[in-house]
Amino acid sequence: MHHDRAVHAELPAKDTAAPKRDPAAVTAASPVRPAPPIPSSAAVGAAFRGAQFEHGTDAEMIERRVRTANPLVTPSPGPGASSTLRRDILYALRTGGPASPDEVADRVGASRTGVLQQLRTLETGGLVTRSLSRHGVGRPRHVYDLTAAAQELFPANYGALTQSVLTAIRTVGGDKLIAEVFEARREILRARIGRRIEERLPPNASLWDKVKEVATYEDETGYLGRATRDADGTIRLCEHNCAIYGVAGTYQIACAAELQLFGEVLGAKVTRECHIATGGRSCTYLIEPADE
């Protein structure tokens, strides 16, 4: 069979780096095997923090995000060009509210010239907005404030929110209600990915094309999705990151739902070969035509 190079990064036929902790492959068509014991809440919390939360103080996290936010990655010449000053300006506007360049300069302890230069850069990047404000007699002054887009630069704790919501759901309705929640999520994702395949691929699209499209979607949603095809035509879908790792450790039904989801949207036999939740380096799925 002719070998078609994968659009995504190629992987070996077997995930040799992954510990062999999942010897019994689970398929979408077969019942899910008994899950390993659920780790203690302390162990889950530790793993969740390491996977989902950034380390450091709020100021350090903001600085890292400012440093990687386009167009802020390109330092501008002159005084106050460092990302540290940009971070300080964002933090000052966040905590102190709208302010003129002079007021911002006082808050961060920098020169007005340097602060104004960085405010203009932040405005160009869509992180700061400028408006006119009148104070008594005299000319109106410019006042700067953060935009909604700047919120993404500040620390978030969505993972902990998800955990607490699921805990509340389990408290109200037990495991049955948790199962219904993940079932509803699977239905939503199946419809979303199904529409995407219908819109982007022809009706007679090959299984390989469908797997590539699903991998692209997984990549866009934080799973570092990759599709590979070996010389003999063997197809695999790999996720090198678990975007719901903190949830999957406690609610293993999430992983079972994902396995079923891939089988449904691809119309194929899906076998999990490697699993992040059980110690693997990736979640790797062998994709085969359903009639095989």
Give the per-residue pLDDT at 160.
81
d(C-alpha 162, C-alpha 247), whole Å: 8
pLDDT at 285 over 60: yes
Cβ partners under 8 Å of residue 152, min gap 6: 65, 69
Tens of pLDDT, residue by residue over 193-220, are 999 999 999 999 999 999 999 999 999 9
Domain ranges of the chain: 26-53+157-289, 58-153
Q: What is the pLDDT of residue 214?
A: 97
CATH fold for domain 58-153: Arc Repressor Mutant, subunit A (1.10.10)
- In one letter, which amino acid is 153? L
- Residue-level pLDDT at 87: 87
Q: Decide if pLDDT at 108 tops 80.
A: yes
Only one residue has tokens 């869509």, namely 126
- Sheet of 268-274, strand order: 26-27, 268-274, 283-289, 235-239, 225-229
Task: Tell me the average pLDDT across 154-167.
Answer: 82
Same fold, 26-53+157-289 and 58-153: no
CATH 3.40.50 fits 26-53+157-289, yes or no: no
CB 201 within 8 A of CB 265: no
Which residue in 100, 101, 65 sits closest to 83, CA to CA?
65
Please give the structure tokens belonging to residue 188: 């939503």
What is the value of pTM for the model shown?
0.57
pLDDT at 27: 42
